Amino acid sequence: MTTAEQFWEGFYLDRDQVWSGRPNPLLVREVADLAPGTALDLGCAEGADAVWLAQRGWQVVGADVSATALGRAAARAEAAGVAERITWERHDLSQSFPSGTFDLVSAQFLHSPVEADGERDAVLRRAVGSVAPGGVLLVVGHAGWPSFMTEPPHEAHFPTTGEVLASLRLDDRWEVELEDLVERELTAPDGQVGHRVDNVLRVRRKQPPRP
């Protein structure tokens, strides 16, 4: 069986740059009203989100299973002059996890065609434990394939926000701030224009009551 490291290293080694280098628009939208603090970016890829957060004053840990992606991310941070605000950590998040707690934990499109059943749920549950009191867990994911993709490349279940929420097993110390579906326009490699729907779940760990 292909491991996450084997799959994602192959994915990144295939091209010099995979992603656009721009931060995810839904991260930008959801973080706009947050005061900068500490942030953890799960599946940080080539670092665009982490660099964007650092440029806004966040102290960031970016975690990914691919050493190649992390190398590109570190180079991007260096070029942007924010290297000292970001720590890059290589983890297969199903096996190990960054230590500490964070004011923002972000999982943007943490999908993987080689994940075992329940693996993503377990990673996100671990993420719940790494949110500091008063902090936010932001989970953005695809809700389906792009509209022009008539034959999906592999089988995938794209969880709804309700399914993600149920899997997090939050107690009453948490508040659900947002469940949203967002459609965006997308251009296929052959130039065909279509759309893709993503979903957003934002939950906040309440501050404990003052004694």
Which chain residues interact with ligand SAM by CB under 6 A? 4, 8, 19, 24, 43, 45, 64-66, 69, 91-94, 108-112
DSSP type of residue 24: P
Q: Based on CB atoms, which residue is closest to ligand SAM, 134 or 184?
A: 184
Q: What distance in Å separates the CA atoms of residue 93 and residue 91, rounded to the nearest whole number?
A: 5
Task: Look at residues 206, 152, 146, 143 and name the one whose alpha carbon lies nearest to residue 175.
Answer: 206
CB of 8 to ligand SAM, least distance (A): 3
Tell the smallest beta-carbon distance from residue 85 to ligand SAM (Å): 18
Q: Which is nearer to ligand SAM, 2 or 207 (CB)?
A: 2
Rounded CA-CA distance 152/145 in Å is 7
Residue placing its CB nearer to ligand SAM in the complex, 94 or 130: 94
Q: How far is the CB of 173 from ligand SAM (least distance, A)?
A: 27
Cβ proximity to ligand SAM, 134 vs 144, nearer residue: 144
Angle at 123 between CA 173 and CA 21, to 5 degrees: 105
- The distance of closest approach from Cβ of residue 210 to ligand SAM in the complex, given in angstroms and rounded to an integer, is 36
Q: Which residue is nearest to ligand SAM (CB)?
A: 43
- Cβ(124)–Cβ(40) below 8 Å: no
Tell me how far apart the alpha carbons of residues 145 and 196 are, in angstroms, rounded to a whole number: 7
Orientation of helix 48-55 relative to helix 67-80, angle to 10°? 30
Q: Which is nearer to ligand SAM, 117 or 172 (CB)?
A: 117
What is the smallest separation between the CB atom of 55 and ligand SAM, expressed in angstroms? Answer: 17
